[in-house]
Amino acid sequence: MTAIALLPSIAALRSQVRLWRQAGQSVALVPTMGALHAGHISLVEQAKQRADKVVATIFVNPTQFAPTEDFSKYPRTLEADVAKLTEIGADAVFTPTAEDMYPEGFCTTISLRGPATAGLEDRFRPTHFQGVATVVAKLLLQALPDAAIFGQKDYQQLAVIRQLTSDLNIPVEIMGAATVRESDGLAMSSRNVYLSEDERAAAPVLHRCMTKAAQRIRDGEAMEAALAPARNKITSAGFEIDYLEVRDAVTLASVEGRYRKGLRILVAARLGRTRLIDNIEV
C-alpha cells in the first residue's frame, strides 16, 4: 500500500497539485466532511477512474450548519478516515483547519437563486446552501482539479454546485455519483449513526415508499395520488415529513400531472432527532 500524502494546509495542497500538474497528471477532488462510509469510498473509486491523482478533502464546514443543527456532534473520525482513504488508494487527503478556511476578517459568501431556492432543503435549512456553495467554491479554487465528484444523495446540493461552477466559470467538471445503499435500501449517510436500533429498522421505509410511488407514476397514476400512500406509510413508521415531492430532475421546479421523462422524487423526514434525506429517479 502506498502512503497517502497528508495535506494539512492550502499551501501544501497547492504545492502537491502543482507537482502533479508539472508531471502532466490529471487530478480529481472528492470533497467530504469525513466520517467516511462505503458511499464516500465509491466516490473515490469513481474519481480514480477519471483522473491520475485523487485528493479527498475532509472539512466539517461550520457555515453550512445552522446554530440549531448538529455541527458540534457531527461524527469526526479522522484516523479511521485516513486509513480508509489509504486502503482505497487515494493519493492525498486535504484537512484544512477552520482558521485556514475562514481566517479572521473573512466576509465573502456566495448568494444563490435557482436550484438553491427550489423550496426543498432550503425551506428547512435556509442558510445551508450558502455555506455549501462558499466552501465548495473555495475547495475548487484551492485545488483547481480537472473534476470533482459529489453524491446524488444530496441531490439539491449537486444541482446547486453544478449551477455555481457554470455561473462562475470555474473550470472543473462536476460529476454526480449514484447513491450507495445498505442492503435494505437505506441510503448511506454519516448521520445514520445517530439512529437508535428501532429507528434504524424503520428507516428503509423511505426508499421503499419512494420506489413504489415511482412505479405508480411510471404506470400512469397522477403524481399527487401516487405520493399519498407513501406519505401515510412514512408517517405511520414514525417519521415527520419535511417534504416528499416529485420535481423536475434538472431545474428542481415543481411539476404536476402524470409521468414524463426527467422526474425525481425527493424526500426529507425526521425520525426522532435524526433528519434523513433521499431521492430516486422516477
**Residues with active-site annotation:** 40
User: How many residues lie near ligand PAF (CB under 6 A)?
Assistant: 11
Verify binding: residue 135, ligand PAF, rule CB under 6 A. yes
CA 269 – CA 274 distance, rounded (Å): 8
The CA distance from 122 to 5, in Å, is 36
Report the nearest approach of ligand PAF to the CB of residue 7 (Å).
Answer: 16
From 277, 120, 58, 265, select the one nearest 189 (Cα to Cα).
277
Candidates 29-37, 77-85, 167-175, 211-219; binding stretch for ligand PAF (CB under 6 A): 29-37
Q: Which is nearer to ligand PAF, 9 or 235 (CB)?
A: 9
Considering the complex, state which of residue 33 and residue 234 has its C-beta at the smaller distance from ligand PAF: 33
The yes or no reply on residue 165 touching ligand PAF (CB under 6 A) is no
Grid cell of 153 as nine digits: 444523495
**16, 28, 31, 226: which one contacts ligand PAF (CB under 6 A)?**
31
In our burial notation (b when 16+ CB lie closer than 10 A, e otherwise), range 100-119 reads bbbeeeeeeebebeebbebe
Interacting stretch for ligand PAF, rule CB under 6 A, among 131-139, 166-174, 177-185, 211-219? 131-139
Tell me: does residue 154 bind ligand PAF (CB under 6 A).
yes
Q: Which residue, 64 or 95, is less far from ligand PAF as judged by CB?
A: 64
70 exposed, middle or buried (CB, 10 Å; 0-12, 13-18, 19+)?
middle
Closer by beta carbon to ligand PAF, 16 or else 156: 156
Per CB under 6 A, 61 contacts ligand PAF: yes
Q: Which of 27, 43, 133, 136 binds ligand PAF (CB under 6 A)?
A: 136
Minimum Å gap between C-beta 229 and ligand PAF is: 31
Please state the closest distance from residue 136 (CB atom) to ligand PAF, in A.
Answer: 6
Taking CB under 6 A as the criterion, the residue among 16, 32, 165, 192 binding ligand PAF is 32
Q: Is 33 in the site for ligand PAF (CB under 6 A)?
A: yes
Task: Annotate 237-267 with b (16+ C-beta within 10 A) or e (fewer).
Answer: bebeebebbbbebeebeebeeebeeebbbbb
Residue of the chain from 44, 132, 147, 263 that contacts ligand PAF (CB under 6 A): 132
Instruction: Please report how close the Cβ of residue 190 comes to ligand PAF at its closest, in angstroms.
Output: 8
**Does 16 engage in binding with ligand PAF (CB under 6 A)?**
no
Q: Which residues of the chain form contacts with ligand PAF (CB under 6 A)?
A: 31-33, 61, 64, 132, 135-136, 150, 154, 157
